[in-house]
Structure 1
Amino acid sequence: MRELARLKTERAQLDREPPRDVQVAFAKHLDDWIAAQGDALLCRVADIGGTLVGMAWMVVYERVPDLHDRHRLTGDIQSVFVTAKHRGLGIGAALIQALCQQADARGVRRVTVSANDLALPLYRSAGFSPSPHLLERHHPGRL
């Protein structure tokens, strides 16, 4: 869990490393959060020599049933990250592919992701395409 917390912290691109007690508390919180998610959470990691160098998460949730589709599952890919020195090696693509295979195996019909400009080619090569119908709203007081 400490390794996952380390990757999440590195992904945040902080100016300086948080104090040790903050890192330990975050790792504990992350562990508790993962346990609470149960089957709604998929996480895949890349490990090189016993050190995590990449992670990708998918939250799976059930949408309101339709008359002809009573179990409408959707997945949302989040927090995909590969350490800087391991980028460009296909790790991110392999993590995304692993999540998509798991989603397919579980019958998840739609998978979404919010990508930055740098990651768009990665997701497009994995079969993702823009949707003209997907909109988002942000809380007025928060980014």
Structure 2
Amino acid sequence: MNHFDKLRPFVDYDFCGCGELQRLLLVHALADNPIHCFQCKGIIDPQRLGLTKDQVDLVVAWHRQFRALYDLWLDSGEYESWAKFQLLDPNGQVNRSGIAAALSLTRLLPTYYWWFHDEGDQIPRNCPDCYKVLSPASRHGHGECLDYQIVI
């Protein structure tokens, strides 16, 4: 197993077919690999990007944390509110790790971090990191912060 295999899905998912990548999206979408094309939202094979082992490890570490919290939230059991709080906390480990992973990928291509949002909640108007008013979504989500490269 090489370091790229940590981010390769073991089932058939929609991979990005775009000829030229312009931006990336770091998002948990119930797949093994959270690195997606911003344009088509297809999964990007890490080898296509030429990720270093350190970049892969940052993404994998974040994704494991996020997936664990997301699964607890999705389960709607006694941990739901706690997990939701963790997923929304701008100073929490999962979001600090996600932003760090996205910044490491930004060395290759601008990478946006998809911030958790419970669709049952009010649509956020401000960036959870810098609190500026979100710009209208250019492609995905409800809005985006161009300064911090966050999509909600």
**TM-score, normalising length: structure 2:** 0.29
Larger radius of gyration: 1
Structure with greater proportional strand content: 1
**TM-score, normalising length: structure 1:** 0.31
